[in-house]
Structure 1
Amino acid sequence: MPERADAMVADILRLVACESPSDDREAVSRSADEVTELGIRILGVAPERITIDGCAHLRWRFGDGKSVLVLGHHDTVWPLSSLVSHPAHVSDGVLRGPGCFDMKAGLVMAFHALAALPDRTGVTLLITGDEEPGSHTSRALIEEEARRVAAALVLEAAGPGGALKTARKGVSRYEIHVRGRAAHAGLEPEQGVNATIELSHQIQAVAALAAPEHGTTVTPTRTRAGTTSNTVPAHAAFTVDVRARSTAEQHRTHAAIMALRPRIDGAAVTVEGGINRPPLEPEASADLFVRASLVAERLGMPPLRSMSVGGASDGNFTAGVGTPTLDGLGAVGGGAHADDEHVIVAELPGRTRLLTELIEDILAQPASGVFGRLPEEAGR
């Protein structure tokens, strides 16, 4: 299918050429315009544009849209002018460019997959504009759409070798502030309350919450403290990144962080932040992975592989409201957020056909009797 691959490559390069860093609302708006025009050309219908706090999201709804939610995002982590140092191009069957893998190729795949459906009735395609920083304006919209459907299919990039993502850790983010009392570090340091020392106690307390045996990581990241080199610091702060495989672990760490108390007399500790995305636990993807595996087998594709990853996506939100969710259905490649971000061109047609057939399968039978059985068992 070289013609189809060529068309998809041209569409991906078009979207990559319209840079869309999440923190630039004007750039995201321009990107939404470009995605809209591409969607109209391929699907023949305009989306509903939903702007929340200045951020542009796009929704195509076919019929009642209550069977399948296809989910993606058009924002990227790359700042404006990244194309100068990382020009988009294709060489030796590899497409490169800022945001191509995460996840503008996935958007093009979604458009082409839906265009190939004989009947799109029951499908909703939602493309958001603020996934990378945590989907702060789109979360409620995503959860609302997820509650309406039987399944959510997420077009985030595939794992290594094309693996689908059947589990993602939940994410919590915090900023912990310490208040002390300033004093001259040479004349009377004993009159101060050293926020940096209190900060060190809090960092150790937070780091001790990690539970490697459960896959829970608790990582102090950015820190700041003090004003001058000869002043006892009156204020210090640090940020914390928590990743947890299970809801129970996410809630355990959250409760412990919110309960932090100062160790030094006269110091005060306050905590901002909380749970950002719930875990996408394996149970949420198990049945859909079986169904996708059967579709791949029927298409003569190699057996699908699955994997669990530490990074989160909007699939965490769809799974969090109880909707069966399968993630990583997007492009095969690598280097997300990195200098070597790339997409394997030859994989685009096959992965897109898999998506088309999977959507059609779900539309035809939203609750399959083969759910929960391994592909080799399903035909017995």
Structure 2
Amino acid sequence: MPTIAHPKSTSLSFVLLRTAGFFIFFLGVVVTAQAQLSKTEKKLAAYVDAHQGEALKLLEEVVNINSGTMNFDGVRKVGQVFRTKLDALGFKTQWVDGTPFNRAGHLVARHSGKGKTILLIGHLDTVFELSSPFQKYTVENDSVVHGPGVGDMKGGDVVIIQTLQALNDAGLLKDMNILVVMTGDEEMSGDPLSKSKYDLIEAAKEADIAIGFEDGDGLTETANISRRSASGWILKVTGVPSHSSQIFTDKIGAGAIYEASRILNSFYNDLSKEPDLTFNPGVILGGSTVEHNGDKNGGSAFGKENIVAKDVIVTGDIRAISPEQLSKAQEIMKGIVAHHLPQTQAEITFDEGYPPLAPSPGNYELLKYFDQVSKDLGYGPVTANKPRDAGAADISFTSGYVDMAIDGLGLGSAGGHTIHEIADPRTVAMQSKRTAVLLYRLTQQKALPKR
């Protein structure tokens, strides 16, 4: 499966200004807001504040371990760091070997208690392999740190750990049903996907609520109650090769390049206005001979201006907000492909990819809980972000299994998937407090949705 990007819609400077302004705002109201917290919730917040230094040291430690998806040893080392933390909290942990899907593997942890089962989702890998020049954690100031994975998403993993440590300190964790899955191949999924995501899906089947700690759109005043799908497609077109003087004749027809152009233009005309649907042709090869190398996302083509093209291969991705939208778009694309120009043939195939996490009443309800927690802590409201402002994520594999799901609870960040990746270290405490209080309230809530 091709690498799935996680685009950000905001510039580095814009995110930093937004984050700085947000902190100035909440510092002015936090004392009043604390009055909205129970004694137990204040204890959770106090623990996070008292142990912020430890959390940031943990973040620095794991960021400085290269864990590019294909650096299996590095992914395992980061997994071991978090496994040790979870073992200390009484979780039963296991490392799932990734050999069957050609990846390092996953960390899965379980804490048995009572009540609803809550699944916390992170990932251990980054897009920065050993060959990348971007390898180290550096501090610019108290609001900006640089490093591979600080935002996507080792910062989110640290939030998971600090949240659980706060709950444990308050004596609350012992009664909770918590599952933790930190995958080792979120940035470049193993193959087949059915094996790569098996343990995550099995955890989702057991869980009632799923919470993901990806960085979403990089803004801490938003969260994801939906994620678009991310899957690939391949278009293969053939025509009749001939001297160019014979193009458009009954015997030779239009040639492969005209047919591919017709298809792509029809995709655009028929589907580009559909809300939250995108489809992008990323690579196109055409000519008399074509050699496509899917593993390297490229290939080669040979042709001449006086030869009618015989072959075209186009690869692209498609992203949709719901299974229904994805299915409808695929059927329209298949229909377009089926109507050929003279003397041409074409076929399109779709891979399984990441499914969509559609917005649901349960997801909106969970966002309401999180929004209220944020306001009670003095951090202001949290709204749903725009689905197009964040990429695909592992939480989508919980769709259809859990009653409620929310994602994007990672750090305030920007520049993900680039050597300019940054995060605001102050948001480790913010997100840990929000999540700890949220989990406490969810376990106390008697009227959560039933399956």
For Structure 1 versus Structure 2, the TM-score category normalised by the shorter chain is 0.7 to 0.9
Selected match of 1:90 from 135, 139, 148: 139
Of 74, 80, 83, 1:36 maps to 80
Q: 1:349 — aligned with what?
A: 429
Are 1:302 and 2:352 counterparts?
no
Does the CA-based 8 Å contact 1:67-1:366 persist in structure 2? no
Report the secondary structure of 1:296's partner residue. helix
Counterparts in 2 of 1:321 and 1:257: CA distance versus 1, 3 Å = farther
- Aligned-partner residue type, residue 57 of structure 1: H
Match in the other structure for 1:130? 185
Answer yes or no: is 1:239 the counterpart of 2:321: no
What secondary structure sits across from 1:69 in the alignment?
strand
Matched, 1:258 2:340: no
Residues 1:288 and 1:14: Cα distance change in structure 2 (over 3 Å):
same
Alignment of 1:332-371 (within 5 A): 332-365=412-445, 367-368=447-448
Q: Report the equivalent of 1:202.
A: 263
Q: How does 1:135-150 map to 2 (within 5 A)?
A: 136=193, 137-150=195-208
Q: Deviations over 1:8-46 (max 9, x none)?
A: 222122222222222x1xx13432233223331464156
Partner of 1:144, secondary structure, is: helix
Write the distance in 1 (CA, Å) between the matches of 2:247 and 2:235: 27
Distance 2:197 2:447 in 1: 26
1:100 touches 1:341 (CA, 8 Å); kept in 2? yes
Structure 1 position 364, deviation (Å): 3.1
Q: More relative contact order in 1 or in 2 (CA 8 Å, sep 6+)?
A: 2
Name the CA distance, whole Å, in 2 between partners of 1:133 and 1:184. 43
2:394 matched residue in structure 1: 314
The TM-score with structure 2 as length reference comes to 0.73
Q: Measured at CA, do residues 359 and 28 of structure 1 come closer, stay the same or move farther in structure 2, by a change above 3 Å?
A: farther
> Which residue is 1:215 aligned to?
276
Q: Does 1:69 align with 2:119?
A: yes
Unaligned runs of 5+ in 2: 1-47, 288-300
Please tell me whether the aligned partners of residues 247 and 308 of structure 2 are also in contact (alpha carbons under 8 angstroms): no
Q: CA deviation at 1:275?
A: 4.9
Total equivalences in the alignment: 366
The correspondence for 1:4, drawn from 43, 46, 51, is 51
From 42, 49, 64, give the equivalent of 1:17.
64
Q: What is the SS of the residue equivalent to 2:338?
A: coil
Q: Percent identity?
A: 22
Check the 8 A contact 1:158/1:330 in 2, yes or no: yes
Structure 1 partner of 2:153: 103
CA 1:209–1:8 in 2, change beyond 3 Å: closer, same or farther? farther
Between 1:214-223 and 1:186-195, the stretch displaced more is: 186-195
Q: Cα–Cα, structure 1 residues 316 and 111, in superposed 2: closer, same or farther, change >3 Å?
A: same
Change (3 A) 1:62 1:297: same
Amino acid at match of 2:441: D
Equivalent residue number for residue 303 of structure 2:
229
Partners of 1:49 and 1:210 lie apart in 2 by 43
CA drift at 1:64: 6.7
| Shift in Å, 1:69 | 0.3
Structure 1 stretches lacking a partner, 5+ long: 372-380
1:114-159 CA distance string (max 9 Å, x none): 1222325310000111212356343332222112111000010143
Q: SS in structure 2 opposite 1:19? A: coil
Q: How many angstroms apart in 1 are the aligned matches of 2:315 and 2:400?
A: 24
Task: Report the CA distance between 1:87 and its aligned residue.
Answer: 3.6
Q: Name the CA shift for 1:271/1:126 in 2 (closer, same or farther; >3 Å).
A: same
Structure 2 residue aligned with 1:375: none
* CA RMSD across the alignment: 2.8
The answer for the alignment partner of 2:5 in structure 1 is none
- 1:296-348 CA deviation, whole Å, 9 max, x = no partner? 23333322232122222122221243541110111112111123211101121
* TM-score, length-scaled by structure 1: 0.86
One-letter amino acid of the structure 1 residue matched with residue 334 of structure 2: M
Q: Does 1:290 align with 2:368?
A: yes
Secondary structure at 1:277's aligned position in 2?
Answer: coil
Aligned residue among 51, 63, 74 for 2:97? 51
Corresponding residue SS for 1:168: coil
- Of 248, 257, 272, 2:324 maps to 248
Cα distance, 1:201–1:158 mapped onto 2, change above 3 Å: closer
